[in-house]
């Protein structure tokens, strides 16, 4: 059976009413358990979803710290590494040690993303060769989203900046939705698309429930338009309320399995079993 996964980053579970959003809620829906995460952040939660293990095993724990020294190393490459090593310094992750944060070069979002090469264990996409994944953090998310993350804090409370940023996200989302829809017409066993726009809306408009529901209405329309015979999983890595992440995610299934507050790591085996 083909499995399709629609990841709605930052979708707030408490706002999803099955009367208003029957296609999002599908045959079964509920909250996702995020116990065990030291931070409610996108990279480690999605990586746990696709590997079935926690950050201590898969190696992705938030973002890489981007310090002044790491900027030098990135710009000057091997010359910088040799220079830094001569003084016993290492650029990458220097700021993870609290006593060294004084040397960090911080801006609004002073981090760089991990990549799939940093994942220490196989993912569902390694195990299911006939698969397609679109714009998933850590795995293959376009670089533009890191720029968007760095811009969000400066846009909060500024109507013009918030509008420009949300429109950029909506345009990116349209392209991802189009690519996902095309994949449905191909012979692919596992298809996943990740849409980041709900997280951005949650931070920019977190105090405006109406604004979030307008976006969720668009999700409902999209999901209704792509319904097929696949086993479809819809989920968020966390919610967003009042501009901040909430410590639970959302899930729904096209076929009821009677899950009860499943942990995010439990979906890995479910997906593998459904495809095989």
Q: Give the pLDDT mean for 32-55.
A: 96
Taking a C-beta distance cutoff of 8 angstroms, is the pair 59, 118 a contact? yes
For strand 231-236 and strand 244-246, is the pairing parallel, antiparallel, or unpaired? unpaired
DSSP output for 44-88: HHHHHHHHSS-HHHH---S-EE--HHHHHHHHHHHHHHHHHHHTT
What does the pLDDT read at residue 97? 37
pLDDT exceeds cutoff 70 at 69? no
CA distance 22 to 42: 26
CA distance 175 to 241: 27
Q: Which residues contact 52 (CB under 8 A, 6 or more apart)?
A: 265, 266, 267, 268, 269
CA distance 207 to 240: 10
* Percent composition of the chain: helix, strand, coil (DSSP 3-state, to 5): 45, 15, 35
Taking a C-beta distance cutoff of 8 angstroms, is the pair 196, 135 a contact? yes
Q: pLDDT-based confidence at 62, cuts 50/70/90?
A: confident
pLDDT tens-digit profile of 136-194? 999 999 999 988 988 888 898 899 999 999 999 999 999 999 999 999 999 999 999 99
Taking a C-beta distance cutoff of 8 angstroms, is the pair 155, 204 a contact? yes
Nearest alpha carbon to residue 153 among 162, 164, 141: 162
HSE on the CB side for 109, CA within 13 Å? 15
Q: Which residues contact 111 (CB under 8 A, 6 or more apart)?
A: 62, 63, 64, 65, 66
pLDDT tens-digit profile of 184-241? 999 999 999 999 999 999 999 988 999 999 999 999 999 999 999 999 999 999 999 9
What does the pLDDT read at residue 54? 98
pTM of the model: 0.85
What does the pLDDT read at residue 74? 52
Q: Could you tell me the domains of the chain?
A: 3-58+117-275 (3.40.720.10), 64-112 (no CATH)
Report the run of H or E that residue 176 belongs to, with start and end: helix 159-183
pLDDT tens-digit profile of 5-30? 999 999 999 999 999 999 999 999 99
| The dihedral formed by the CA atoms of 248, 251, 256 and 258, expressed in degrees to the nearest 10 | -10
């Amino acid at each position: 059976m083909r499995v399709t996964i629609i990841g709605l980053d930052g979708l707030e579970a408490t706002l999803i009413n099955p009367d208003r959003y029957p296609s999002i809620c599908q045959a079964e829906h509920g909250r996702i358990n995020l116990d065990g995460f030291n931070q409610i952040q996108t990279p480690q939660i999605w990586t746990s979803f696709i590997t079935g293990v926690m950050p201590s095993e898969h190696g992705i724990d938030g973002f890489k710290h981007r310090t002044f020294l790491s900027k030098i190393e990135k710009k000057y490459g091997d010359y910088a590494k040799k220079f830094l090593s001569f003084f016993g310094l290492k650029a990458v992750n220097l700021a993870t040690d609290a006593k060294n944060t004084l040397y960090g070069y911080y801006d609004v979002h002073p981090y760089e993303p991990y990549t799939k090469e940093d994942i220490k264990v196989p993912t569902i996409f390694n195990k299911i060769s006939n698969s397609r994944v679109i714009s998933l953090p850590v795995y293959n998310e376009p670089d533009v989203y890191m720029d968007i993350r760095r811009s969000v804090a400066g846009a909060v409370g500024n109507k013009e900046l918030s509008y420009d940023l949300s429109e950029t996200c909506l345009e990116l989302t349209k392209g991802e939705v189009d690519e996902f829809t095309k994949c449905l017409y191909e012979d692919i066993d596992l298809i996943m698309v990740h849409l980041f726009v709900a997280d951005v809306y949650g931070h920019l408009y977190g105090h405006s429930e109406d604004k979030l529901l307008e976006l969720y209405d668009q999700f409902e329309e999209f999901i209704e338009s792509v319904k097929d015979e696949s086993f479809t999983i819809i989920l968020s890595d966390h919610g967003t309320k009042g501009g901040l992440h909430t410590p639970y995610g959302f899930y729904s299934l096209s076929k009821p399995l009677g899950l009860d507050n499943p942990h995010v790591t439990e979906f890995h085996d479910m997906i593998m079993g459904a495809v095989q």
